[in-house]
């Protein structure tokens, strides 16, 4: 999938210069046990970049930190990183993130922000004390309580119990969190939660609060399902209707989880693949922590209509997905790892598949968001073949990895994989044991798109997502029907195959011939990358003029594009049903129109 990952990489490149800017530092303020130092690292006239550095100058570990300051009227923070920054008028507060709150003696941590205005901070406070060394930060936060245990589960209630937390000044009470939101504060180490829906999954954690009202880290999570049958009807039809949601889409594309609601798409899908987690050193890891779980949403931006607060345990896309699942209980969410850019780590992962699987489960079951994810999706491009990099781990590696994931995650989690659709003789499907791996997986997302595109700058023009072969197709085996047929022949059940749909087009420029097979001079101009454009743009800028191989194409001026339309999607869904496929998936939500017409076509076509 060239399109999706080059777009992400390009966006990261745009951000790098800002992270590297350095300017003049101004003197700061300090404390007996810790110091907080401010520097204006860049000033570009209409705004500036500021940085605070917190250093532990004492002899005991600091478990959390909060820096407060005042800006003069007209000066404010516009964005921040490596801390959660909020304000009340001109008073600003920065609190550590979950990963950078602990400072050993002598250690330091910095966070930064972009601002507008010309003022400088005054009235600095660090953990409630002065930053200039005349007072010390507050006492240590309490430890995490034990992971709750559940008992007495009924249709509408559950009793929770946990082991006590510890604190140097004493524990005052405990916050009980259901699906990340506080539902009670109690002074004992047990609580009965009632008023629940029957046949429904919940996740519970607990955090302690000390006598200074400091909260400690959240406990491990316990997953609970109330008894009785769910009252929520299943989604229409019995087919999988899955869409990819991109982590980086919240930036330049300005596409957020709430768009699934406003477009009407959430009611018409069954599954979401959240993409992408990274694969580093043979381990699963979160990629962009800010987008994933730190970005704060205002009330009008959030699915629930409630604004994020500075001290809530989870924000960002993960919290928005949690809210989406509360609103649409039929939706299941999988965490997808790899993709075009991050597939280079899978070879090392396969060398110790059990350790890799264990690391993935630790990420998916992180207590801060354990209730958000219902499974894992592996997007290895490509096992024993070449994508952005070439893999030489052998034909059995993919099966080995799939087996380890199923063994680690068990039967209660979904385990799926996005795979190649190259059905050419000796091509990528032949390079790995997809037939043998299928027994461990719930389904394959067969990437039946990106067959042809303007990486072949002079053409010939051809649809990037042909359903079937046609006279003059540039390469045999490069079509959806051939890929599905080859996977079936290798023993993959039809019900475990999902047909892939691209919510974008690929195109060339310098084309004079309207029919496929014409010559070109290079890629057509695209919003985010040359040769690629969203359907929502193409439907108006270059309307379809014909179809070939079951996919639409368009010739407008000197540009030639191919893309799927509601009409071609309807035909592809009819074909998928005739083949007994398990459903369809698409890359990705933000390419659709504001009213979700392509999602509607998939939903309607699979009924």
Q: Please, are residues 304 and 312 in contact by the beta-carbon 8 Å criterion?
A: no
Specify whether the CB–CB gap between 360 and 352 falls below 8 A: no
Q: H or E stretch including 334? A: strand 332-338
Eight-state DSSP code of residue 142: P
Asked if 314 and 285 count as a contact pair (C-beta separation under 8 A), the reply is: no
Q: According to the 3-state scheme, what is the secondary structure of 445-484?
A: EECCCCCCCCCCCCCCCCCCCCCCCCCCCCCCCCCHHHHH
Contact partners, residue 475, CB within 8 Å, separation at least 6: 424, 451, 452
The answer to whether residues 247 and 275 touch, using CB atoms and an 8 Å cutoff, is: yes
- Taking the C-alpha atoms of residue 383 and residue 604, their distance in angstroms, rounded to an integer, is 34
Long-range contacts of 93-97 (CB under 8 A, 24+ apart): 93/66, 93/67, 93/68, 93/310, 94/52, 94/66, 94/67, 94/68, 95/64, 95/65, 95/66, 95/310, 95/311, 96/64, 96/65, 96/66, 97/289, 97/294
Among the listed residues 49, 68, 247, 381, the single catalytic one is 381
Task: Give every CB contact of residue 476 below 8 A, 6+ residues apart in sequence.
Answer: 424, 469, 482
Residue 533 is a catalytic residue: no
Query: b/e string for 550-582 if b means 16 or more Cβ within 10 A?
Result: bbbbbbbeebbbbbbbbebbbbbbebbbeeebb
Give me the helix-helix angle, 597-605 and 566-578, nearest 10°.
30
Q: Is 96 helix (H, G, I), strand (E, B) or coil?
A: coil
| Joined tokens for residue 529 | 């990358």
Query: Strand 34-43 and strand 48-56: pairing?
Result: antiparallel
Residue 575 to residue 490: CA distance in whole angstroms: 20
Q: Which residues are catalytic?
A: 381
């Amino acid at each position: 999938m060239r399109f999706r990952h080059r777009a992400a990489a390009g966006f990261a490149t745009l951000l790098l210069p800002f992270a590297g800017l350095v300017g003049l530092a101004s003197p700061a303020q300090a404390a007996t046990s810790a110091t907080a130092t401010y520097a204006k690292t860049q000033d570009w006239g209409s705004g500036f970049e500021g940085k605070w550095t917190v250093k532990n100058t004492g002899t005991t570990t600091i478990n959390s930190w909060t820096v407060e300051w005042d800006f003069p009227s007209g000066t404010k923070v516009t964005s921040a990183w490596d801390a959660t920054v909020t304000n009340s008028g001109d008073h600003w507060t920065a609190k550590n993130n979950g990963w950078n709150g602990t400072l050993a003696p002598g250690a330091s941590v910095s966070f930064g922000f972009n601002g507008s205005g010309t003022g400088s901070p005054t009235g600095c406070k660090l953990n409630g004390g002065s930053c200039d060394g005349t007072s010390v930060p507050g006492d240590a936060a309490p430890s995490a309580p034990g992971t709750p245990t559940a008992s007495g589960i009924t249709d509408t209630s559950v009793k929770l119990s946990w082991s006590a937390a510890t604190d140097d000044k004493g524990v005052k009470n405990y916050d009980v969190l259901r699906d990340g939101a506080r539902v009670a504060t109690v002074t004992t180490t047990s609580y009965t939660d009632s008023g629940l829906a029957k046949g429904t999954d919940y996740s519970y954690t607990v955090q302690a609060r000390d006598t200074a009202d400091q909260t400690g880290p959240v406990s491990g999570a316990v997953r609970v399902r109330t008894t009785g049958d769910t009252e929520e009807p299943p989604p229409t039809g019995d087919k999988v209707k899955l869409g990819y949601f991109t982590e980086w889409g919240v930036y330049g594309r300005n596409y957020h989880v709430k768009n699934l609601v406003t477009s009407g798409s959430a009611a018409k899908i069954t599954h979401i693949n959240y993409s992408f987690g990274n694969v580093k050193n043979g381990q699963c890891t979160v990629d962009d922590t800010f987008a994933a779980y730190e970005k704060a949403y205002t009330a009008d931006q959030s699915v629930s209509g409630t604004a994020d607060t500075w001290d809530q345990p989870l924000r960002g896309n993960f919290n928005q997905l949690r809210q989406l699942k509360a609103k649409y209980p039929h939706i299941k969410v999988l965490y997808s790892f790899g993709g075009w850019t991050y597939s280079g780590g899978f070879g090392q992962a396969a060398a110790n598949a059990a350790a890799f699987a264990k690391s993935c489960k630790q990420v998916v079951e992180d207590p801060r968001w354990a209730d958000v994810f219902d499974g894992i999706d592996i997007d290895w491009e490509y096992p024993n073949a070449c994508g952005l990099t070439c893999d030489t781990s052998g034909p059995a590696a993919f099966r080995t990895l799939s087996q380890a994931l199923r063994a680690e995650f068990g039967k209660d989690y979904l385990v799926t994989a996005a795979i190649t659709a190259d059905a050419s003789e000796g091509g990528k499907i032949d390079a790995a044991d997809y037939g043998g791996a299928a027994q461990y997986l719930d389904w394959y997302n067969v990437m039946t798109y990106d067959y042809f595109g303007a990486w072949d700058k002079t053409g010939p023009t051809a649809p990037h997502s042909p359903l079937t072969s046609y006279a003059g197709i540039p390469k045999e085996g490069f079509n959806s029907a051939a890929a599905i047929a080859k996977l079936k022949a290798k023993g993959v059940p039809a019900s475990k195959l999902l047909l892939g749909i691209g919510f974008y087009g690929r195109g060339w420029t310098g084309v004079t011939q309207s029919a496929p097979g014409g010559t070109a001079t290079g890629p057509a101009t695209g919003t985010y990358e040359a040769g690629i454009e969203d359907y929502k743009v193409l439907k108006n800028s270059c309307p379809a003029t014909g179809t070939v191989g079951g996919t639409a194409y368009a010739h407008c001026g000197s540009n030639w594009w191919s893309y799927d339309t509601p009409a071609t999607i309807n035909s592809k869904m009819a074909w998928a049903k005739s083949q007994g496929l398990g459903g369809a998936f698409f890359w990705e939500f933000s390419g659709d129109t504001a009213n979700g017409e392509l999602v509607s076509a998939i939903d309607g076509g699979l009924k």
